[in-house]
Amino acid sequence: MLIAGGGIAGLAAALALARQGRSSVVLEQAASFREIGAGVQLGPNALRRLTALGLRDQVEAVVSWPQQVLMRDALSGKVLNRLPLDADFRQRYREGYATIHRADLLSLLLQACRERPLQIDLRNNLRVETISEAGDRVRVTDQHGRPHEGEALIGADGLWSRVRAHVIDDQAPRFSGDVALRALIANDMQAREVTLWMGPHLHVVAYPVRRGAFLNLVAISQYPSGGGLRGWETPAPQQTLERFQGQHSELSALLQQVPGWTAWPLLDRDPVRHWSRGRVGLIGDAAHPSLQYLAQGACLALEDAVALAQLLADPLGAGTPQAAFTRLAEQRHARAARMVRTTRRLARVYHASGPLRWGRNLTLGLMPTRLTREMMAWIYDH
């Protein structure tokens, strides 16, 4: 099996396949396997997949376990709602809620893959250029003109997937109009919660990573000209930083601790029903990229990887890679499409101003804990 992309989706797929007795070749275009970015929130659905991949002990060693999720107004500082991540939460969802540095998650997956050298062949500095099928084989040529062959090709190469162009004839990713700034700072205040600050035309998320030693910050604001930004490591334009001025003193003090921000545009794609063509299929952001407002991108990638491996291993199920790819989309399309549409709506809720802001704050303030917890059931029960 060929896998294009050595990020979270690709390495999880390789490991899931190996645990089912299948070998794979991972083609990563970067010179080394590394994950940029900072934090990842691991809901119960993601933690269950990491357990299925045999990584639970390793995860426990590096994650943080926030005590609650706080929703606050960015102007007034008022706590609008709180979701305890306590025993009741764990009982309801049969799992906890963790936060992790993205590089730590990738390292866990990478180490697990390296421990299976006879099943997982990791190859760097190889970009997919052409894809062709002949009989029961898929051939990929890289930028050096070298061929790579396998029984199928999994496109796990992210938002700007080159494999997707072979599978789906669609447009470039859609720019949402929002830009995210990210930073990692020392957690000097020993924060032990996920905090969502919501303000007019912006929001900020803060949570601990690396067992609480650092605080991951993501600050998102409307910035219509930000669609031209590329990558995760572009220095933040001054105009975006100015948009966060005038917030509550506690939030302003937090943001002022950051020595430098990097920026990236928030993009997604309209949902599609078919994620495959013949023996070539897509998973993760290559198949169904959504905006970050539910913190589920990496979680869905882990779900895809485990589900695909299970379909390929089911003796009474898919059987062939073509059938497995088809069934994967049939099983997961509705969930992925709901994620895309929900995150688009949340952008309006998080960034509300005027009467809509007051209505949002009133609604959240009246919402009981049980209802807040149950609102996430469609995500976490999976």
Task: Give the range of the structural domain holding residue 40, as residue numbers without chain letter.
Answer: 2-64+100-172+270-347
pLDDT bracket for residue 318 (50, 70, 90): low
pLDDT bracket for residue 232 (50, 70, 90): low
| Confidence (pLDDT) at 39 | 92
Buried b (16+ CB within 10 A) or exposed e, 275-308: bbbebbbbbbbbbbbbbbbbbbbbbbbbbbbbbb
What is d(CA 88, CA 96) in angstroms, rounded to the nearest whole number? 10
Q: What is the dihedral of CA 33, 37, 42, 47, to 10 degrees?
A: 0
| Confidence (pLDDT) at 239 | 82
Tokens of 19: 């645990």
Same domain, 216 and 112: no
Same domain, 186 and 221: yes
Q: What is the pLDDT of residues 233-271, one digit of tens each?
A: 778 888 888 889 999 999 999 999 999 999 989 999 999
Same domain, 117 and 53: yes
The reply to whether 285 falls in a domain is: yes
Degrees, nearest 5: CA angle 260-263-267: 165
Same domain, 43 and 124: yes
pLDDT bracket for residue 38 (50, 70, 90): confident
Measured CA to CA in angstroms, residue 38 lies from 83, 125, 303 at distances of 23, 23, 21
Is 207 catalytic? The answer is yes
Q: What is the pLDDT of residues 139-192, one digit of tens each?
A: 999 999 999 999 999 999 999 999 999 999 998 999 999 999 999 999 998 999
User: Of these residues, 207, 223, 293, 350, which one is catalytic?
Assistant: 207
Same domain, 247 and 163: no
Same domain, 130 and 48: yes
134 class by beta-carbon count within 10 Å (0-12 exposed, 13-18 middle, 19+ buried): exposed
Same domain, 44 and 113: yes
Reduced to 3 states (helix: H, G, I; strand: E, B; else coil), residue 73 is strand
CATH code for the domain in which residue 263 is found = 3.30.9.30
Angle formed by the axes of helices 102-114 and 8-19, to 10°? Answer: 30
Buried b (16+ CB within 10 A) or exposed e, 117-133: eebbbbeeebbbeebee
Same domain, 367 and 237: yes
Same domain, 53 and 145: yes
Same domain, 233 and 107: no
The reply to whether 249 falls in a domain is: yes
User: How many separate domains does the chain show?
Assistant: 2
CATH code for the domain in which residue 151 is found = 3.50.50.60
Same domain, 341 and 358: no
pLDDT bracket for residue 317 (50, 70, 90): low
